[in-house]
Structures are given as structure tokens and as C-alpha cells.
Amino acid sequence: MKKNIFLLGVISASFVVSILFIIFEDNNYTNLSFKYKYETENRYVYEDRKVLLVGNYKYRAKRVLDEYFLGPLSVFNKKTVPYYFTYNKFYVNGSTAYLDLPVSIIKISENNNMSLDETFELITFNIIKNTKRIKEVIITVDGQTIGSGPSLLELPGKLIE
């Protein structure tokens, strides 16, 4: 009888210690939610995943971008960029993130049946949504801005050269 009570006490103590470790564990895993285009329909879906985010907010923003570029977990969601894709540069200054993509992003967008604007909007949305401090994302292609500023048709009058 004493042996059973002792055994029950050890099991109960182990259970309590395990629960305390779970509650007070310094867990840096963050639940991120990424927006992807659905493969068979013209709509967007969200995927949640837990990602280990450590370091300062600049490193965390880079980790969010890298995780997004890995692509969706579901085969029914469209990957924005292929697995071999790498960006030229990514850095954060204050609340603005700067992302420079290679010119191949234009062909990749076409192959995914997405406009370049739609690709940029998805990347921007996912970075801003999953980081607290970043409020703006500036995307360039090989160092050049694409689609920013008025077109020549929208400018009033003649341009002075």
C-alpha cells in the first residue's frame, strides 16, 4: 500500500513539474499567418504556421520573408516564387523594409498567372502583417523602382527636357 502511494506521489509530482515547464517555458515560436493565392480558384487563402523568431525585429522581419518565400504547406495554394528563388537584398531601416528582387521576378509572376503588382502586394502584405514594427515595404527590381510615380500620360502639360 505504501509503495502504491509513493508511486502515485512520484507520478503526480512529475506531472506537476511537466505542466510547470510547459507554462513557464521561454517559447519564442510565433504563429505567423501567410496569405497565398488559391491554385484552382481566383481567391486568397491564409495558412498559419509556427516559426521560431529570435533576435531583434530586423532579423525577425528577414525570417518572416524567408519563411514566406518557402511557400505554402498546402499543395492547393500557389507558391509566389519557386524554391530556387533568392532575393538580392533585404534590410530594414526604422519602420520601412527595403526588398530588392532580381529581374527574374517578372517572368516568375507571368508563369504564376499573377501580375507583378499582385506579387508585390502579396509580399508586402505578408511582411507587414507578420511584423509589428514594419509599416511600409519598398520593393525594387535590380535596384529600380517599378510602377512608382505618375506615368507620362498622367503628367500635366509638356515635360521640359
Assess whether pLDDT exceeds 50 at residue 131. Answer: yes
Stretch 57-72: mean pLDDT = 92
Cell of 131: 511584423
Decide which of 150 and 53 is more confident.
53
Our measurement of the distance from residue 143's CA atom to the centroid of its chain's CA atoms, rounded to an integer in Å, reads 21
Q: What is the pLDDT of residue 18?
A: 79
Assess whether pLDDT exceeds 60 at residue 120. Answer: yes
Assess whether pLDDT exceeds 50 at residue 159. Answer: no
Q: What is the pLDDT of residue 147?
A: 60
Q: What is the pLDDT of residue 48?
A: 93
Q: Which of 44-53, 119-128, 135-144 has the largest mean confidence?
A: 119-128
| Residue 132 dihedral angles phi and psi, to the nearest 5° | -85, -40
Q: What is the pLDDT of residue 3?
A: 77
Decide which of 61 and 145 is more confident.
61
Q: What is the pLDDT of residue 27?
A: 64
Stretch 133-141: mean pLDDT = 92
- 102 pLDDT band, cuts 50/70/90, is very high
Cell of 40: 484552382
Q: Which long-range contacts (CB under 8 A, 24 or more apart) does 53-61 make?
A: 53/28, 53/29, 54/28, 57/92, 57/131, 57/132, 57/133, 57/134, 58/91, 58/92, 60/131, 61/90, 61/92, 61/97, 61/127, 61/131, 61/133, 61/134
Contact present, 110 and 144 (Cβ < 8 Å): no
Q: What's the CA angle centered on 38, arms 36 and 39, to 5 degrees?
A: 120
Assess whether pLDDT exceeds 80 at residue 57. Answer: yes
Q: Which of 4-13, 109-118, 128-137 has the largest mean confidence?
A: 128-137
8-46 per-position pLDDT tens digit: 888 888 888 878 776 666 567 888 999 999 888 889 999
Instruction: Mention every residue, 6+ apart, whose C-beta is less than 8 A from residue 18.
Output: none
Q: Which residues pair with 124 in a beta bridge?
A: none
